[in-house]
Amino acid sequence: MIAFDEALGRLTELAGPLGTEMLPLEHADGRRLAAPVVARFDAPKAPTSAMDGYAVRDADIAEGIGEFDVTGKSFAGEPYLAGLSRGTAVRVFTGALVPPGTDRVVMQEDVQVRGSRIVIETMPSELRHLRSVGADFRAGETLVDGGSTLTPQKLIAIAAADLAGIDVFVQPRVSVICCGDELAPPGLAGRREGQIPESVSFGVAALVRRWGGRIVRRVRIPDVLANLQAEAASALEVSDVVVTIGGASVGERDFAKEMFAPLGLVFAFDKVAMKPAKPVWMGRLGRKIVLGLPGNPTSAYVAARLFLAPLLCGLGGGSPSEAVTWRDMLLAGELEASPQRDTFFRAKNEGGLALPLANQDSAAQKAIAEADLLIRRRAGASRATAGTFVDVLAL
User: pTM higher than 0.85 for the full model?
Assistant: yes
Cα separation, 288 vs 69, whole angstroms = 74
The answer to whether 289 and 241 have CB atoms below 8 angstroms apart is yes
327-394: CATH architecture: Beta Barrel (2.40)
Looking at domain 20-43+136-169, its CATH class is alpha beta
Residue range 147-198, pLDDT digits in tens: 999 999 999 999 999 999 999 999 999 999 999 878 878 877 777 787 888 8
Q: What is the DSSP string of 19-80?
A: -EEEEEGGG-TTPBBSS-EE-SS-BSSS-EESSSEEEE-HHHHHTT--EEEEEEEEBTTB--
Asked if residue 290 has pLDDT above 70, the reply is: yes
Which residues, other chains included, contact 32 with Cβ-Cβ below 8 Å and sequence gap of 6+?
Answer: 147, 148, 149, 150, 168, 169, 212, 316, 317, 318
- Going from N- to C-terminal start, the domains of the chain cover 2-18+171-324, 20-43+136-169, 48-131, 327-394
Cα separation, 36 vs 158, whole angstroms = 10
Chosen CATH of 2-18+171-324 out of 3.40.50.20, 3.40.50.300, 3.30.2270.10, 3.40.980.10: 3.40.980.10
Cα separation, 243 vs 207, whole angstroms = 12
Residue range 317-359, pLDDT digits in tens: 999 999 999 999 999 999 999 999 999 999 999 999 999 999 9
Q: For residue 320, how many other CB atoms are within 10 A of its CB?
A: 22
**Long-range contacts, stretch 19-22, CB < 8 angstroms, 24+ apart:** 19/169, 19/170, 20/167, 20/168, 20/169, 20/170, 20/317, 21/167, 21/168, 21/169, 21/170, 22/165, 22/166, 22/167, 22/168
Torsion of CA 51, 52, 55, 56, to 10 degrees: -80
48-131 CATH: 2.170.190.11
pLDDT value at position 187?
79
- Position 386 confidence tier, pLDDT thresholds 50, 70, 90: very high
Pairing relationship of beta strands 20-24 and 53-56 according to DSSP bridges:
unpaired
The answer to whether 170 and 85 have CB atoms below 8 angstroms apart is no
The answer to whether 120 and 61 have CB atoms below 8 angstroms apart is yes
pLDDT value at position 188?
77
Residue range 43-96, pLDDT digits in tens: 999 999 999 999 999 999 989 888 999 999 999 999 999 999 999 999 999 999
Phi/psi of residue 6, nearest 5 degrees: -70, -40
Q: For residue 203, how many other CB atoms are within 10 A of its CB?
A: 18
Cα separation, 389 vs 72, whole angstroms = 68
pLDDT value at position 251?
60
Taking the alpha carbons at both ends of the chain, their separation in whole angstroms is 25
